[in-house]
């Protein structure tokens, strides 16, 4: 499915124009069925590099590859008709140079149909963002806690308290001036997130930031209760599907062991049914 086939989906400029209006709604998706479930409810869907931890059992996002992003991006695109699709640039696919970033961003968009890319970083990525935008690639920036930098940040900590606030503010200004159409603010204190939202002319999308942001995003497996390895403070569980799924699996296992499954209605008779009753 190409981006142009989804004629009703908003584009980057539509998202930018939502600044200060109705809150933007977004979730991550990695598969076709999940994308189908959220298509009517989200303004944009992010094929996040969280796919590495959520779907592949990696302990961080650092091991996520271009090939993984392309495979999941293609799957998500097949499930979307209405929502815009944004795709994450994986670690080491854009940091080296603007030219490297362009090559990989163009590949992600061409091979998945995504309408924009997201990349992590502030002041240090501004030149790259400007380079991409001027060459036709809409960029969503991601500042505050940037999980691909977990090793230099010293963990998944709140970013921008006290003396750090100025640096996060400078990141927001830099990516906005460089032409990003929106900014994800991850794990940023509420007051600072509100200040950034007030100052920059592009929508802020909060994840562990502030209810005052222009939109909110969560990792879908977190909010559905599918991913239970840990629960960040900023996650609200809107479902408990993990425990429900495990209970169903346990029931299946017990029924198989007790020879209660399959029952008559799940098996085929030796003789074909008469024409009036199909099975
Ligand atoms: O990869 C991801 O899930 C993200 C979050 C901000 C949603 O980047």
CATH number at residue 76: 3.20.20.60
Higher-scoring residue by pLDDT: 2, 7 = 7
12, 137, 41, 47: CA torsion to nearest 10 = -160
Distance CA 256, CA 132 (A): 55
State the distance from the centre of ligand 1 to the C-alpha of 6, rounded, in angstroms. Answer: 23
Q: How far is the CA of 49 from the centre of ligand 1 (A)?
A: 6
Distance CA 143, CA 149 (A): 11
Number of domains into which the chain is organized: 1
* CA separation for the pair 247, 19 (Å, rounded): 43
Cβ burial of 241 (10 Å; 0-12, 13-18, 19+) is: middle
pLDDT at 279: 52
Give the pLDDT band (50/70/90) at residue 231. confident
Phi, psi of 243 (to 5 degrees): -60, -35
pLDDT digits (tens, 9 = 90+) for 138-148: 999 999 999 99
The token pair that represents 146 in the structure block = 């940037």
Q: What does the pLDDT average to over 176-198?
A: 98
How far is 30 from 55, CA to CA, in rounded Å?
Answer: 8
Determine contact, residues 171/150, Cβ cutoff 8 Å. Answer: no
Atom 4 in ligand 1: residue holding the nearest Cα: 48
- In-domain check, residue 261: no
CB neighbours of 269 closer than 8 A, spacing ≥ 6?
279
Mean predicted confidence (pLDDT) in 220-232: 89
In this predicted structure, what is the pLDDT of residue 2?
Answer: 46
Asked if residue 41 belongs to a domain, the reply is: yes
Per-residue pLDDT band for 22 (boundaries 50, 70, 90) equals very high
Choice from 26, 30, 46 to test ligand 1 binding pocket (greatest atom count within 8 A of CB): 46
For residue 163, is it within any domain? yes
Residue 264 within any structural domain of the chain: no
Strand locations in the chain (E): 24-28, 44-47, 84-88, 116-120, 139-144, 182-186, 204-207, 215-218
**Side-chain half-sphere of 255: how many Cα atoms within 13 Å?**
10
Give the atom of ligand 1 at the shortest distance from the alpha carbon of 61: 1
- Cα gap 274→251, rounded to integer Å: 34
**Mean per-residue pLDDT, 263-277:** 88
pTM: 0.95
Residue 278, pLDDT score: 57
Q: According to the model, what pLDDT value does residue 277 have?
A: 59
DSSP state letter for 4: G
In a domain, 83, yes or no: yes
173 CA to centre of own chain: 23
Range of the domain at 32: 3-223
Q: Which residues line ligand 1 (CB under 6 A)?
A: 28, 46, 48-50, 88, 142, 184, 186, 207, 217, 219
**Does the pLDDT value for residue 118 go beyond 60?**
yes
**For atom 1 of ligand 1, which residue has the closest CA?**
48
Residue 21, domain member (yes or no): yes
- Average pLDDT of every residue of the chain: 95
* Residue 266 belongs to a domain: no
Distance 270 CA to ligand 1 centre (A): 53
- The answer to whether position 239 is within a domain reads no
* Nearest protein CA to atom 2 of ligand 1, as residue: 48
Active site (catalytic) residues: 186
pLDDT band at 5 (very low <50, low <70, confident <90, very high): very low
pLDDT at 7: 61
For a substitution probing ligand 1, which of 60, 213, 219 has the most ligand atoms within 8 Å of its CB? 219
Integer CA distances (angstroms), 9 to 12, 114, 213, in order? 10, 11, 22
- pLDDT for the residue 6: 58
């Amino acid at each position: 499915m190409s981006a142009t086939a989804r004629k009703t989906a908003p584009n980057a400029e539509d998202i930018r124009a939502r600044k200060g209006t109705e809150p933007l709604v977004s979730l991550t998706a990695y598969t076709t069925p999940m994308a189908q479930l959220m298509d009517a409810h989200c303004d944009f869907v992010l094929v996040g590099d969280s796919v590495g931890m959520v779907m592949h059992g990696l302990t961080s996002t650092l091991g996520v590859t271009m090939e993984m992003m392309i495979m999941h991006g293609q799957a998500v695109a097949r499930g979307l008709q209405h929502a815009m699709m944004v795709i994450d640039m994986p670690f080491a696919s854009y940091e080296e140079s603007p030219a490297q970033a362009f090559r990989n961003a163009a590949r992600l968009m061409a091979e998945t149909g995504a309408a924009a890319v997201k990349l992590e970083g502030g002041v240090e990525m501004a030149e790259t963002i400007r380079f991409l935008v001027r060459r036709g690639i809409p960029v969503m920036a991601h500042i505050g806690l940037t999980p691909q930098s977990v090793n230099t940040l010293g963990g998944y900590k709140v970013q921008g308290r006290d003396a750090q606030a100025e640096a996060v503010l400078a990141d927001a200004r830099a990516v906005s001036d460089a032409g990003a159409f929106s900014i994800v603010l991850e794990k940023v204190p509420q007051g600072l997130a509100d200040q950034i939202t007030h100052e920059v002319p592009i929508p802020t999308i909060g994840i562990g930031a502030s209810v005052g942001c222009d939109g909110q995003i969560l990792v879908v497996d977190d909010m559905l209760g599918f991913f239970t390895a840990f629960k960040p403070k900023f996650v609200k569980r809107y479902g408990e599907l993990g425990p429900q799924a495990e209970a169903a699996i346990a029931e299946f296992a017990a029924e198989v062991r007790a020879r209660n499954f399959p029952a008559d209605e799940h098996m085929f008779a030796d003789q074909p049914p008469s024409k009036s009753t199909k099975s």
